[in-house]
Structure formats: structure tokens, C-alpha cells
Amino acid sequence: MAKGRAWQRMLSGRRLDLLDPTPVDVEISDIAHGLAFVARWNGQTRGDFAYSVAEHSLLVEEIFALCQPSASPRDRLAALLHDAPEYVIGDMISPVKAAVGPGYGALDARLAAAIHLRFGLPAVLPAELKRRIKRADKLSAWLEAVRIAGFSESEADRLFGRVDRDLAARFEIRLRPPRAAREAFIARFESLSALL
């Protein structure tokens, strides 16, 4: 029996080995394109366009920057790229990740390391930085849940933690076509990269 293919051809022409990804095969254009077409919440959101992981990533970086005003451009780039592996493995809701088991986490970690190294970040982010990004990620999830995914505020509080309502009111959920989300993601990446 032939061994299954464990690589994906990217639109840039790169061939990304999912079992042994290397930084040289990672391109921001592929990440932005993939994330712009990956729907959060398994596509179960209100609006004329799916809420993409690219939009979510932009929101997480915006929240992180506001909550961490002294954060370096490198740390903000880490926040923008926090879900970058999903450009090839998709966005699985937490119950599916739990059902898949530890293999998903290992694959995500390998891809994240290659992505981080490609863009000048440490292969594994410092624990404190990861914790701060996760806090922004949870606020983003709360906002998405309440504003476009049909959750009540009390239900979102139970699942994602109670949030400061005044802080939450400062952020907007954007629903744009994939092309616009891709372009916004690339523009943000380029503006942060220029500051490194």
C-alpha cells in the first residue's frame, strides 16, 4: 500500500510538508489567503460572509495592542500570527479538537514553529506572551460568540470568561469578502514587519 501524501501544494508554488514543515516553505501570501477562506465557528455565524480566521487574527492583534500598549512590534506580530497554522489545518472548534486528541496539538505546534521561525519569532513563544495573546483571543471569542454566533452574554461569560463590557464595546466585528480580509491581513503583517 502506498504511503499517504503528507504535503500540500500552496498557491505560491511552495510544497509544505505537514509532518516536517520548514520555514523556507512558509509564505505570508499563502497564510493570508488560507486564513481568509477558513471560517470561524464552523461557518455558523450571521452575516453575508463567513467570519474568517484572518478577520479574527486581525481582531486579536488589535485587542492585544490596546491591552498591552508597551508590546513590541514583534509581540504584536506574534498575536497576528497566533492562528496561522490554520491556513493549512483549518479551524476546529474546541469540541472537535478534544475528540481528535493530542495529534492536532502536535501538528499545530510543528506548523507554528516553522511559521514563527520564518518571520523572525522564536519557534516557541515565551509562556507570558502566549498567556497575554490568549487573553486577547478569549475576548475576541466572546465578542464573536455574542455578536455573530448566537450566544447570550451569560453563556459567553461561562464559556470564555466574563469580560469588561466597556472594553468589549471598543471593538468591531468585521465581515468582509475573503479578498478584503486577505488584503487587510497582508497590510497589517507588512506594517508590523516594517517596524522590526
Check residue 1 and give its pLDDT.
42
The pLDDT tens digits for 120-173 are 999 999 999 999 999 999 999 999 999 999 999 999 999 999 999 999 999 999
Do the Cβ atoms of 108 and 70 come closer than 8 Å?
no
Q: Is residue 16 domain-resident?
A: no
Q: Is residue 40 domain-resident?
A: yes
Do the Cβ atoms of 178 and 36 come closer than 8 Å?
yes
3-state SS, residue 122: coil
- Residue listed under C-alpha cell 514587519: 193
Q: Is residue 189 domain-resident?
A: no
Phi, psi of 122 (to 5 degrees): -65, 145
Q: Is residue 191 domain-resident?
A: no
> Rounded distance, CA 74 to CA 77, Å?
5
Averaged pLDDT, 33-52: 96
Say which amino acid occupies 193.
S
Check residue 3 and give its pLDDT.
64
Band the pLDDT of 186: cuts 50, 70, 90: very high
Query: Whole-number mean pLDDT of the chain?
Result: 95
Q: Which residues pair with 14 in a beta bridge?
A: none
Read off the CATH number of the domain in which 120 is found.
1.10.3210.10
Q: Is residue 83 domain-resident?
A: yes
The pLDDT tens digits for 63-79 are 999 999 999 999 999 99
Task: Tally the C-alpha atoms within 13 A of residue 168's C-alpha that lie toward its C-beta.
Answer: 21
Averaged pLDDT, 86-107: 84
Check residue 17 and give its pLDDT.
94
Band the pLDDT of 97: cuts 50, 70, 90: confident
Band the pLDDT of 2: cuts 50, 70, 90: very low
Lowest-confidence range among 2-6, 36-40, 91-95, 164-168? Answer: 2-6
pTM for the whole thing? 0.95
> Rounded distance, CA 153 to CA 29, Å?
36
Number of domains the chain contains = 1
* Boundaries of domain holding 71: 23-181
Q: Is residue 2 domain-resident?
A: no
Averaged pLDDT, 176-188: 98
Q: Is residue 92 domain-resident?
A: yes
Do the Cβ atoms of 80 and 57 come closer than 8 Å?
yes
Cα 152 to the center of its chain, rounded Å: 24
The pLDDT tens digits for 102-120 are 888 899 999 999 999 999 9
3-state SS, residue 140: helix
Helices 73-80 and 178-193, packing angle to 10 deg = 160
> Rounded distance, CA 170 to CA 183, Å?
23
Q: Is residue 119 domain-resident?
A: yes
Phi, psi of 148 (to 5 degrees): -130, -10
Query: Which runs of E-coded beta strand occur in the chain?
Result: 7-9, 15-17
Check residue 98 and give its pLDDT.
79
